[in-house]
């Protein structure tokens, strides 16, 4: 089946099952999803509803049990780990709930990482400028353990945007932060997103955060539906 060239991300009948012992668990019911470039999409839902599983499939970290996923027209469901890695390197940025910075590298080196992987010779310059954008230029030489949670997430945001990804996946980006820091971080996230025109798919509990996205999808027991009511009433 041909993909729509206007879509950056497309899912058709994607399911995910896991087998534990003799039981097979349906984590995702057949899911269909289409995301246009520069769109911002929030996936909301209760814990265990399958939203993070979906995120990992969309980002090519995992493969679906059935169905098709196209990211930038590339059939992720057919790709092996190496090919999916290559897709991620070229098109994808990540922000995780637990920041996942490399503890043994400084803030600057963490931010440089994707640019260096892409063979960018100006990695350091660009990383410094990204750190400046997230307000951490003076903490460039600090190691993650020397930074607060909010600062670590800002470094993670800088790392996610440095390679100007086509699509950014954020998994509860404010989940580990207090509300004030969370607000600062989300502001920063949307600001950079707007500047770069990046597509954003974020998974969150936070209704306010979700409300800042153009679309809100609700995940409930493995089923994904477009939110028709205001977000606050759904969750």
Partner 1 sequence: MSAWATQSWRLFRHELKRGELTIIALALIIAVASVFSLSGFSAQIKSALIQQSNSFIAADRVLQSSRPVEEKYLNKADEMGLQHAQLLQFSSMVFGGDDMVLASVKAVSNGYPLRGSLLVATPDDQNQLSVGSVAPPKQGSAYVGQSLLNNLNLNIGDRFELGNSEFTISGVIDKEPDASFSVFTSGPRVMIHVDDVPATDIVQPGSRLTYKYLFAGDAIVEYSEWAKPQILETQRFRDIKDQQSPLANALNRAESYLSLASMLGIILAAVAVSVASRRYGQRHQPMVAVYKSIGASASFISKLYLLHWGALAGFSILVGLIIGYGIQYLGIQFMADVVPGVSLTVSAYPVLVAVFTGVICAVAFAITPLRQLIATPAISVIRGFAGFERAQSWLERTPPLLAVVLLLWLFSQDLLLTTALMLGAGAIIFTILVLGHVLINAGRSVGSQAGQAFHLSMANLKRRAKANQVQLVSFTIAIQLLLLMLVVRNDLINEWQAQLPQNTPNQFLVNVSQTQVPAVEEFLHTQGLAASDLYPIVRGRLSAINEEQVRRRVSKEEEDASEQGRRGIGRELNLTWHQKLPSENEVIAGQWFNQDNPKPEVSVEQKLAERLQVSVGDELTFQIGSETVSMPVTSIRTVNWQSMQPNFYMIFSESVLADFPATYIAAIYVPALQKTEFQTFLQDYPTISIIDVDAIINQLRTVISQVSLAVEFILILVLIAGALVLVAQVQASMEERERELAILRTLGAKGSLLANSVLLEFVILGALAGLLGSLSMEIGVFILQTQVFDMSAAIHWQYWLLGTVLGAVIVGALGMASCYRLLKLSSLTLIRRTL
List residues binding partner 1 (CB under 8 A): 52, 55-56, 59, 61-62, 81-82, 84-90, 92-94, 96, 98, 100-106, 109, 113-114, 116-117, 119, 143, 145, 149, 159, 171
Least distance from partner 1 to the Cβ atom of residue 63, Å: 9
CA distances (Å), origin 124, targets 106, 117, 120, 167: 12, 12, 9, 22
> Exposure string (b/e) for 119-130, b if CB count within 10 Å is 16 or more?
ebeebbebbbeb
Least distance from partner 1 to the Cβ atom of residue 233, Å: 28
Least distance from partner 1 to the Cβ atom of residue 26, Å: 18
β 74-75/66-71 pair status: antiparallel
Nearer to partner 1, 55 or 200 (CB): 55
Nearer to partner 1, 8 or 55 (CB): 55
Nearer to partner 1, 5 or 47 (CB): 47
Nearer to partner 1, 118 or 232 (CB): 118
Q: Which contacts (CB < 8 Å, 24+ apart) does range 229-235 have?
A: 231/42, 231/44, 231/207, 232/207, 234/44, 235/44, 235/45, 235/46, 235/205, 235/207
Least distance from partner 1 to the Cβ atom of residue 13, Å: 21
Question: Residue 199 forms beta bridges with which residues?
Answer: 167
Nearer to partner 1, 39 or 109 (CB): 109
Least distance from partner 1 to the Cβ atom of residue 62, Å: 5
Name every residue whose Cβ is closer than 8 Å to that of residue 18 and which is 6 or more positions away in sequence: 24, 25, 27
């Amino acid at each position: 089946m041909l993909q729509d060239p206007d879509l950056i991300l497309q899912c058709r009948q994607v399911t995910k099952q896991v087998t534990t012992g003799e039981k097979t668990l349906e984590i995702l019911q057949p899911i269909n999803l289409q995301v246009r470039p520069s769109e911002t999409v929030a996936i909301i839902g209760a814990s265990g509803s399958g939203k993070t599983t979906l995120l990992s499939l969309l980002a090519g970290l995992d493969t679906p049990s059935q169905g098709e996923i196209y990211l930038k027209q590339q059939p992720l469901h057919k790709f092996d780990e190496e090919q999916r890695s290559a897709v991620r390197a070229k098109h994808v940025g990540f922000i995780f709930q637990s920041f996942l910075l490399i503890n043994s590298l400084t803030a600057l080196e963490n931010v440089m990482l994707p640019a260096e992987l892409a063979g960018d010779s100006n990695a350091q310059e660009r990383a410094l400028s990204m750190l400046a954008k997230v307000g951490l230029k003076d903490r460039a030489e600090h190691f993650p353990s020397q930074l607060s949670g909010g600062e670590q997430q800002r470094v993670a945001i800088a790392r996610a945007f440095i390679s100007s990804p086509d699509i950014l996946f954020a998994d509860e980006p404010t989940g580990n932060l207090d509300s004030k820091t969370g607000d600062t971080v989300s502001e920063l996230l949307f600001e950079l997103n707007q500047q770069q025109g990046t597509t954003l798919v974020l998974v969150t509990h936070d209704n306010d955060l979700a409300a800042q996205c153009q679309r809100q999808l609700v995940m409930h027991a493995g089923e994904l539906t477009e939110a028709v009511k205001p977000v606050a009433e759904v969750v």
